[in-house]
Chains A and B, each alone.
Chain A
Amino acid sequence: MSDVDQQTIRQVLGGDRDAYRVLMDRHFATIFRVTFRITGNEQDAEEAAQEAFLRAYNKLPEFRRDAGFGTWVYRIAMNCALNLVERRSREASWNAAPLETEYGTEKFASESQRGPEQALLDREAVHLRERAMQQLTPMERTAFVLRHMEDQPIGDIAAALGVPANSAKQAVFRAVGKLRRALRVNGAMESPVKEMR
């Protein structure tokens, strides 16, 4: 763990609550990235990231400093994001990755500089991927995102999800299988998959 983190944790435990801002400054971007990938939208990612930092603060006295603060809060964030996705999946209105976000619009704007035809293809590819991702259960989605996009080891994913390693691995396999079939059904295996590279 870095000296800055260690020193800051000592300050926070000594009663200086404002010192916690230093830890947030240092680690928020990483935490937000993972919560964004799991939840699929900025609003939920923000909520999950904030909850992760709040939980980490409340558990700080129990934090064993053999691991880094960043790694620890990252694990908490994986769990917070999964819980939020599960909560949202019970709400009919939930859409894991709405296109109408500010981020999405900006992305398409920049892509459209490559030509209208390419922009259209990109947009269609994103739609297909979203639809495919929506077929995953929250646990499958989280396990897949963490293993494939975040490159986390299965052991860490299992620990964060609170399931045995084999269950986490099976969740990843199921996710890839479902995504593959979803893209195939939507006729995406030839064009968008290759275009998205």
Chain B
Amino acid sequence: MKTVREEDLIAYHLGELSRWQRMQMRRRLERDPELAAESEEIAATLRAFCCDPAPVVSEALLDRSWQRVRGSLGVLDTPQKAGRGWIWATASVSAVAIVLLLAVVTEPWSPIGRPVKNTATASLSPANWSQKLLAELDHHKKSAEPYNHRPGPLTVAPVDAVAEDPALATHLDTAERVLTEVSHTEGPLQPETREQVHRLLLENAVYHQSAEQHGDMATAAVIDDLGRVLISLDAEPNAEQKEHTNNPDAFRLQMNLGGVLLDLRILHHNDSSHGGQ
């Protein structure tokens, strides 16, 4: 039977489970007093933070806020202008997408348009194939060495650096948020994002050194990869420069960014799993 983790219990109390899962969980709780005690502790934690009332908004506060906001209200663009902007933005995004697609298809390393090699894996039966895959995954978890021959976040070892250092956890959280935003937006970085990237880059060096000193090579490797992506973003040309250059690294940067985001999420997952023990 599947082991109930702390996060399953939290999901149960926060109403994040399906009806079927809730029913299953209730049965488990009825049968297992130890689990029921843990569940009650989580419920008590949630109750402790549920009843904080917010202060009442007074007329004075509303007036003061209005005066501050009013002083900064500029003249708005009409919706028609905004509509034209949207059309131009869509056209630019489509153009970039076409260029990227052409780049992928025409690059020599691209697998698109070339016949698929008949590898040994193809000749394996489904049962053998899944066994081989499981063995590889198991080896990967045990050795904790990903493709780049460096320790990475895919490890079963506890990530002490993240669990014990709230500042590092905040740094990784912010990095994840900023990189997600960058990966979901087209065009040059907004000035605010550029500023955030620069600040993250400066902080990153400190955390990298600290993780290495503590011997936490998995975290250090992720921070190192994060640093590379941040350097690329920090050095990215601005809007005007970008118009005159075809950026051949854009696609590669996007791939690295995706990889680092995945690593950050795995680190966090390791952190929560460790914390729950």
Among B55, B174, B268, chain A packs the most CB atoms within 10 A around the CB of B55
Size bin of chain A's contact surface: 35 or more
| A21 → chain B closest CB, angstroms | 5
| A166 → chain B closest CB, angstroms | 8
Interface positions, chain B 31-50, Cβ under 8 Å from A, are 41-42, 44-50
Give the chain A neighbours of B275 by CB distance below 8 A.
174, 177-178, 181
Among B54, B81, B86, chain A packs the most CB atoms within 10 A around the CB of B54
Give the chain B neighbours of A196 by CB distance below 8 A.
47-48, 51
A138 in contact with B170 (CB, 8 Å): yes
Give the chain B neighbours of A139 by CB distance below 8 A.
170, 173-174, 176-177
Q: Is B166 an interface residue (CB 8 A)?
A: yes
A28 in contact with B75 (CB, 8 Å): no
Interface positions, chain B 224-277, Cβ under 8 Å from A, are 265, 268-269, 271-272, 275-276
In the complex, the number of residue pairs spanning A and B with C-beta atoms less than 8 Å apart equals 167
Q: Is B212 an interface residue (CB 8 A)?
A: no
B69 in contact with A53 (CB, 8 Å): yes
CA distance A129 to B46 in the complex (A): 11
CA distance A50 to B65 in the complex (A): 6
B268 in contact with A170 (CB, 8 Å): yes
Measured CB to CB, the nearest residue on chain A to B54 is: A33
Q: Is A172 an interface residue (CB 8 A)?
A: yes
Give the chain A neighbours of B170 by CB distance below 8 A.
86, 89, 137-139
CA distance A154 to B47 in the complex (A): 19
Please tell me the number of chain B residues within 8 Å of chain A, measured between CB atoms: 57
Q: Is A147 an interface residue (CB 8 A)?
A: yes
Give the chain A neighbours of B11 by CB distance below 8 A.
169, 173
| B182 → chain A closest CB, angstroms | 10
Q: Is B119 an interface residue (CB 8 A)?
A: no
A193 in contact with B47 (CB, 8 Å): yes
With A61-B82, A161-B177 given, is the CB distance from A49 to B65 under 8 Å?
yes
In the complex, which of the residues B10, B181, B269 contacts A176, with contact meaning CB atoms closer than 8 Å? B10
In the complex, which of the residues A13, A137, A179 contacts B49, with contact meaning CB atoms closer than 8 Å? A179
In the complex, which of the residues A162, A171, A183 contacts B180, with contact meaning CB atoms closer than 8 Å? A162
| B63 → chain A closest CB, angstroms | 10
Q: Is B113 an interface residue (CB 8 A)?
A: no
Q: Is A121 an interface residue (CB 8 A)?
A: no
Q: Is A118 an interface residue (CB 8 A)?
A: no
With A42-B55, A86-B170 given, is the CB distance from A163 to B61 under 8 Å?
no
A170 in contact with B272 (CB, 8 Å): yes
B45 in contact with A21 (CB, 8 Å): no
Q: Is B52 an interface residue (CB 8 A)?
A: yes
A180 in contact with B76 (CB, 8 Å): no
| A155 → chain B closest CB, angstroms | 12
Q: Is B148 an interface residue (CB 8 A)?
A: no
| A103 → chain B closest CB, angstroms | 4
Give the chain B neighbours of A161 by CB distance below 8 A.
177
| A100 → chain B closest CB, angstroms | 14
Give the chain A neighbours of B269 by CB distance below 8 A.
170
Q: Is A149 an interface residue (CB 8 A)?
A: yes
Among B6, B64, B174, B265, chain A packs the most CB atoms within 10 A around the CB of B174
Among A28, A42, A176, chain B packs the most CB atoms within 10 A around the CB of A176
A147 in contact with B76 (CB, 8 Å): no
Q: Is B30 an interface residue (CB 8 A)?
A: no
In the complex, which of the residues A36, A137, A140, A176 contacts B45, with contact meaning CB atoms closer than 8 Å? A176
Interface positions, chain B 1-60, Cβ under 8 Å from A, are 6-7, 10-11, 14, 16, 41-42, 44-52, 54-57
Give the chain A neighbours of B86 by CB distance below 8 A.
62
Give the chain A neighbours of B79 by CB distance below 8 A.
13, 61
B45 in contact with A179 (CB, 8 Å): yes
| A168 → chain B closest CB, angstroms | 10
Q: Is A24 an interface residue (CB 8 A)?
A: yes
A193 in contact with B51 (CB, 8 Å): no
Q: List 12 A-B contacts (CB under 8 A).
A: A21-B66, A28-B62, A36-B55, A37-B52, A138-B174, A148-B14, A162-B184, A180-B42, A181-B275, A183-B48, A184-B41, A193-B45
Beyond contacts A139-B170, A179-B49: 14 other A-B pairs, Cβ-Cβ < 8 A, are A17-B73, A24-B65, A37-B52, A57-B69, A57-B76, A61-B76, A133-B49, A148-B46, A170-B7, A174-B268, A176-B46, A177-B272, A179-B48, A183-B45
